[in-house]
Amino acid sequence: MNLSKRVAVAQSVGIDIGGTKTLALAVSSDGTIRSRRQHDTPQGEVEIAKLVVELYRELANSDLTMPLGIGVAGLVDRSGRLFNAPNLVAVDGFKIADLLKPHLTGRLYVDNDANCAAYAEVHQGALRSVSNGFLITLGTGIGGALLIDSRIRRGAFGMAGEPGHMIIQPGGLLCACGNRGCWEAYGSGAGLRNLALERIKSGRLEVIADLIGSNYATLTG
């Protein structure tokens, strides 16, 4: 057998649970994406867990020994419990690892999505040759990961390297976290959409207003 011509097969599944969409990938050991699926993120922990199991089984071809890594838009403790996720609905205290473990026999890893992105960059991307770096994720929200001495730093409360909720405008726009003036309220996908809607309703951004009319649901960030 000519090993140099072997086709790389999927050896793990990665699922990113975002505030708007959930993306699932089957990945080979060299980082090659073998297949992908995308789905709107549902509301509530039971529905999210159900979707994750369905995507995992499909991409793993029902091989429940295949490792599963999950990145989620929120803070995750070491037991796999989601404890701060302002952009996900009805998931406070979501014990995501406990809900998923009965459905697979392979390894399960759950972490904040920005931390997972940083790990990916360390192994396959821009952080491969450095010991210190900072990664920012822009999506429905804004996340970040801080790499110091080749380790992800979490801080005492899991917020180290998380820039989305720093106050950039005291008393400013209401953020999904409940505070006002967070960077996320202005610079995230959801924040940009809200800013655009505000301007459309006040008679500005006429070009976009002409395109969408009163169908505001078609405007996304």
For residue 97, the domain's CATH number is 3.30.420.40
Residues 95 and 11 grouped into a single domain: yes
Judge whether 27 lies within some domain. yes
Judge whether 193 lies within some domain. yes
From 59, 93, 118, give the residue that closes a domain: 118
Over the chain (221 residues), the average pLDDT of each successive run of 10 is: 50 94 93 94 93 96 93 90 86 88 92 95 92 94 95 89 95 94 95 87 76 70 64
Domain total of the chain: 2
Judge whether 196 lies within some domain. yes
Give the model's pLDDT for residue 8. 58
pTM score, whole prediction: 0.84
Residues 25 and 111 grouped into a single domain: yes
From 118, 136, 171, give the residue that closes a domain: 118
From 84, 118, 152, give the residue that closes a domain: 118
Residues 106 and 196 grouped into a single domain: no
Give the model's pLDDT for residue 91. 81
Judge whether 162 lies within some domain. no
Residues 9 and 102 grouped into a single domain: yes
Judge whether 169 lies within some domain. no
> What is the DSSP pairing of strand 12-17 with strand 68-72?
parallel
Give the model's pLDDT for residue 159. 86
Task: Provide the domain limits for residue 201.
Answer: 188-218
* Cα dihedral 182, 186, 190, 196 in deg (nearest 10): 150
Judge whether 210 lies within some domain. yes
- Can you tell me the distance from the alpha carbon of 199 to that of 205, in angstroms, rounded to the nearest whole number? 6
Give the model's pLDDT for residue 6. 45
Judge whether 98 lies within some domain. yes
Judge whether 86 lies within some domain. yes
Strands across the sheet with 142-148, in order? Answer: 133-138, 142-148, 151-153
Mind listing the pLDDT tens digit for each residue in 56-90? 999 999 899 999 999 999 999 888 888 888 888 87
DSSP 125: S
User: Residue 56: enclosing H or E segment and its boundaries?
Assistant: helix 45-59
